[in-house]
Structure 1
Amino acid sequence: MAPRRKKIYEGKAKILYEGPEPGTLVQYFKDDATAGNGAKKEVFEGKGVLNNRLSEFFMTGLNQIGVPTHFIRRLNMREQLVRQVEIIPLEVIVRNFAAGSMATRLGLTEGQQLPRPIVEFCYKDDRLGDPLVPEEYIIAFGWAAQQDLDDIVALALRVNDFLSGVMHGVGIKLVDFKIEVGRIWDGDFPRLVVADEISPDSCRLWDIETGRKLDKDVFRKDLGSLTEAYTEVARRLGVLPSNVTHRPKPTLIN
């Protein structure tokens, strides 16, 4: 039997384990779905498998066009090997259309196109509900320097161009998404990379024709099966895993 791996961190949808070599981690995708910062919870069979595949697809695409990410390779159905990064404690949100908290906050119509993609920052803290923070706070509290923020905005907009294009090609509107950014040190020189995951858990995806939601809002708003929505995204992108559900555990016979 394989030795038990050391768990580094467990979040709402993923677990990070110590990696096989220094500077790496194994990122495991759970089937858990949460909303409202963990207030609403459910398990969706096969969700982790889909998100692992989808995140691999997006991260690989970004690496190929020269947008640096923490992703190294997928290991199996639920795990991928990633580089260990120092996470900047911000959620970086890019919005192309008004939805969710922005629509509520500004009284905008859900789905209204914004004058241009808008990048905003939330401070990563579930207890506080990940509050929206201005750049002034980020710099004053030392979460990131001005130069970092300029680089993060540029990085986020490149991710947006890539994701919007890929999604549009399969009839999906990228309404908004969130990424996390981490620092990797090359000697004394820090580099910023896209970390965490890119999946329907972290994007708002609407079918261009029908407006049907294909993201975590399906769960937030009780609009049907989350696994079905994510499977549809994977199917359109051509990354559907051959086996989404769990295989039954083998029965031990004495």
Structure 2
Amino acid sequence: MNLTYEGKTKNVYQLENGNILLQFKDDVTGENGVFDPGANTVGLTIEGMGKAGLRMTEFFFSKLAEKNIPTHFIEANIEEATMQVKNAKVFGRGLEVICRFKAVGSFLRRYGAYCEEGQDLDAFVEVTLKDDERQDPPISADALHMLDVLPKADYEVLKKLTQDISTIVKDELAKKGLVLYDIKLEFGRDAETGEIILIDEISAGNMRVYKDGKYVEPLDLVKLLLG
């Protein structure tokens, strides 16, 4: 297998069978040693985070499969912290899609004059460009269309998938008394069918979760959810 991309939290390999292998790392995004799922730099390393993130990802991808939601997931190897997935093409140079149920993080920093921390949001969907140099700028559906990144019709598909997936995650967490504040997802097109599918991962490193009003650290979240 050939290393094709070295990411912040995962390495990506091309397999001889045409599929992709993701190698999960113990690194998580953040700044100054503080975890932040929306950050575009590695903030800290948490021992065991790679395997924990994969366990959580496998759990949620299985839930999505039960509901016939299209993803790139094929199989996972927890001991090796690897996941085999379908080949997919990203939109433009990559998009991140955030679904917000509570006002926190960058949403609160931008719109704090109009809301309070933890204020309820109605599964608000926000799309940002993956662009470290420009601090992952938010972009509208109109701009995505005009810049030939994503047609408007596909944006609506992306938005609905984001809300459906995020609600499934939110409901699963709620069974353990956990409250999902926001979650970051990524999508692409299946390289063979062209279908819009969920790619990347669904792990503690991609979401903010609270319990009894207190923030839950990523490794603690995995333990609370999966034991």
TM-score (structure 2 length as normaliser): 0.89
Q: Is the 8 A contact 2:73 2:85 kept in 1?
A: yes
Please give the residue correspondences for 1:232-251 in structure 2 after superposition, counting only pairs within 5 Å: 232-238=220-226, 240=227
Alignment correspondent of 1:220: none
Answer with 1 or 2: which has the greater Rg. 1
Q: Select which of 61, 78, 83 maps to 1:80.
A: 83
Structure 1 Cα separation of the partners of residues 47 and 63 of structure 2: 26
Q: Select which of 86, 91, 95 maps to 2:96.
A: 91
Please give the residue correspondences for 1:102-141 in structure 2 after superposition, counting only pairs within 5 Å: 102-107=107-112, 108-114=115-121, 116-141=122-147
Structure 2 Cα separation of the partners of residues 35 and 101 of structure 1: 13
Deviations 1:221-247 (CA, angstroms, capped at 9, x unpaired): xxxxxxxx3333222322x5xxxxxxx
Alignment correspondent of 1:191: 195
CA 112–147 in structure 1, closer or farther in 2 if over 3 Å, else same: same
Please give the residue correspondences for 1:1-254 in structure 2 after superposition, counting only pairs within 5 Å: 5-22=1-18, 24-36=19-31, 37=39, 39=41, 41-77=43-79, 78-88=81-91, 89-107=94-112, 108-114=115-121, 116-186=122-192, 189-207=193-211, 209=212, 211-214=213-216, 229-238=217-226, 240=227
Structure 2 Cα separation of the partners of residues 39 and 84 of structure 1: 25
Structure 2 Cα separation of the partners of residues 39 and 11 of structure 1: 10
Structure 1 Cα separation of the partners of residues 41 and 99 of structure 2: 24
Q: Is the 8 A contact 2:204 2:219 kept in 1?
A: no
Q: How many residues align?
A: 215
Deviations 1:89-142 (CA, angstroms, capped at 9, x unpaired): 21111111100111111112111112x211111011111110111111100111
TM-score (structure 1 length as normaliser): 0.80
Q: Is the 8 A contact 2:173 2:180 kept in 1?
A: yes
Deviations 1:128-157 (CA, angstroms, capped at 9, x unpaired): 110111111100111111111010011001
- Pairwise CA RMSD: 1.5
Structure 2 Cα separation of the partners of residues 235 and 34 of structure 1: 20
1:39 Cα shift?
4.9
Structure 1 Cα separation of the partners of residues 170 and 43 of structure 2: 29
SS in 2 for 1:102: helix
CA 33–63 in structure 1, closer or farther in 2 if over 3 Å, else same: same
SS in 1 for 2:204: coil
Deviations 1:177-196 (CA, angstroms, capped at 9, x unpaired): 1100010144xx52010001
Unaligned 5+ segments in structure 2 are 32-38
Alignment correspondent of 1:247: none
Structure 2 Cα separation of the partners of residues 76 and 184 of structure 1: 24
